[in-house]
Amino acid sequence: MTADTGGGALNAGSERKRAGHAADVARCHEGIGEAAGTRFRFHGLRNAFIKVAERELMLPRSLTKRLVNRARPT
């Protein structure tokens, strides 16, 4: 099976470098912000993910850091 390289909201009109990664996420900010009725920032989404993972799911801090690429390489 091959990955779909065309279409999709996150990679519309941009060159896809790695499977599953959006190349131009800045184009999504406006649409997401309008749908949510507020200003949207991906860093805020990242912080919310960290809070839920650590506080609600009780995941260890070392794991959440690895999940969001904040951990130093070993």
R_g of the chain computed on alpha carbons:
15
- Please tell me whether residues 23 and 7 are part of one structural domain: yes
Average pLDDT over residues 14-43: 74
**Number of domains the chain contains:** 2
Mean pLDDT throughout 22-39? 79
Is residue 5 domain-shared with residue 26, that is, in the same domain?
A: yes
Instruction: Please report the pLDDT score of residue 59 as a whole number.
Output: 94
Residues 35 and 45 in one domain: no
For the segment 60-72, the average pLDDT, to the nearest whole number, is: 84
Residue 13 or 67, more confident: 67
Indicate if 13 and 34 belong to the same structural domain. Answer: yes
**Same domain? 73 vs 47:** yes
pLDDT at site 19: 66
**Alpha carbons 57 and 23: distance in angstroms, whole number:** 30
**Range of 48's domain?**
41-74
Residues 46 and 36 in one domain: no
CA distance 23 to 20: 10
pLDDT above 70 covers a percentage of the chain that reads 66
3-state SS, residue 65: helix
State mean pLDDT over 31-46. Answer: 84
47 and 34 in a common domain: no
**The whole model's pTM is what?**
0.52
Cα–Cα–Cα angle for 25, 57, 23, rounded to 5 degrees: 10
Check whether residue 15 and residue 34 sit in a common domain. yes
What span, in angstroms and rounded, lies between the C-alpha atoms of 31 and 4? 22
